[in-house]
Amino acid sequence: MRNGECAKHFFLKTLDISDRMIRTVKSKRDTEGFVQKDLRGKHYRHIKVDANIQDMRDHINSIPRIESHYLRAQTTRKYIDGSRTITEIYRDYVDNQKQNDKTYGKFNKFYEIFTTEFNISFFKPKKDQCDLCNQYLLCPEANRLNIQAVMQCPTGDISAFYYKSRLNSFNFTILELDKPKEVKSDSKYCCYKSVNCYFWNETQSKRGSNELGSCLFNYLQSIDARSGGKKVDVILYSDNCGGQNKNKFIASFFSFAVVYFENIHSIIHKFLIQGHAENEGDSVHILIEKEVKKSLKSGPIYIPQQYVTLMRSAKKNGSPILVHGLDFHYFFDLKDLQVQWGYNFSGNEERETCNWNNIKLLKFTKEDPFLIYYKTSYKDDFKILNDTRTIGT
């Protein structure tokens, strides 16, 4: 073996490399004898991760949010329309990136950002009922109060609608379960299981105690008008939403109502067990939702007035739903009424603190219009909230 070959063999064995590596190094030398830089990964098709992550966030942020009906005061969680899954939302993101000639990230990263960086959930309305609920729903003469989930427009089977800021409309439903015996069967005001829907949109007003109290004023006014001069005891059922149904503003309104309306003798407001507040009013909403879904098969819903038409045609048997279209002139300021009415809402006649979250029933009578009777259990006796004029005496 010649000296050159011996040196090469010694070199390879010492470094434990093959002859191929030497040939590669020789081929990569430039004219000055230096080895060229490693070109692995030096292509121009890299995914810009940081830019894609921000695009993912922007796409998720473009989805309109809906507040929780029951827990607005206790949680910051927002809800989005459940008509599309995360996978479908990701596909929309990919399509949007392609249309803008931009790269896009992978689904697993999109899913991670959606579930860890955003306090949002898909909105799933509860439809189930339980035996405990039904025990409190068997009252022979009662009216169910219920506000339907937000109705938005435009809406339809067009993915672009999903990401647009939409106009919210509200439907407050009063379902009358039993016809008073003194009212004639041919009365235009009352029929068995009559349904009143009060409909407005967010450009006219919000959906708080002022709005619901104003709707109740109209309904009680109709009861007073069709009573035939006889005294009427009104029983109302609703859920426990503090911002809408269970608050001092509605309580002040009921105290005012038994004084204002000549033929309304008493008002009892019962609150269904929290978490089990489904009632017959939901069945009306289901009818409306079915009518809306049927309409969407033939085209989108662009304006609130289309909902009014669908609501009026949703009930196929018996009397149709009576839909009241409202504007901002319709609503009263119940908060101002509460201040003028001047009740103490925090303590009872026994000087005990009253926790409104625990109230199950409120009662108002014409004999004692300035007293608010309440129960924290259906089995307990009534307690009385103090009028401010009696405190300290």
Q: Residue 45: its pLDDT value, please?
A: 60
| Ranges of each domain in the chain | 1-42, 49-122, 131-390
Give 289's strand partners. none
CA 169 to chain centre: 12
In 64-194, which ranges are E strands? 66-67, 78-80, 120-122, 143-147, 151-153, 167-176
Phi, psi of 22 (to 5 degrees): -65, -45
Total length of the chain:
393
Q: Residue 198: its pLDDT value, please?
A: 96
First to last CA, the chain: 123
Cis bond before residue 154 (omega within 30° of 0)? yes
**Which tokens belong to 341?**
């009415």
Q: Residue 135: its pLDDT value, please?
A: 40
DSSP 326-370: --GGG---HHHHHHHHTEEEEEETTSPBP-GGG--EEEEESSSTT
pLDDT in tens, the chain (393 residues): 566 677 777 777 787 888 887 777 777 776 666 667 776 666 656 555 566 889 999 999 988 877 665 555 556 778 887 778 899 999 999 999 999 999 999 999 999 999 999 888 876 544 434 433 344 334 444 576 787 778 888 888 777 778 888 899 999 999 887 654 544 444 444 444 689 999 999 999 998 999 999 999 999 999 999 999 999 999 999 888 888 888 999 999 999 999 999 999 999 999 987 655 566 677 888 899 999 999 988 889 999 999 999 999 998 888 889 999 999 999 999 888 888 877 778 888 888 888 888 999 999 999 998 889 999 988 888 999 875 444 443
Phi, psi of 275 (to 5 degrees): 90, -10
Q: Residue 113: its pLDDT value, please?
A: 93
Q: Residue 123: its pLDDT value, please?
A: 66
Give 236's strand partners. 143, 269
Q: Residue 41: its pLDDT value, please?
A: 63
Q: Residue with structure tokens 């609920």?
A: 133
**DSSP H helical segments within the chain, as ranges?**
3-15, 19-27, 49-61, 86-99, 107-116, 131-135, 159-162, 209-225, 248-260, 280-296, 304-312, 334-341
Q: Residue 193: its pLDDT value, please?
A: 64
Q: Residue 327: its pLDDT value, please?
A: 93
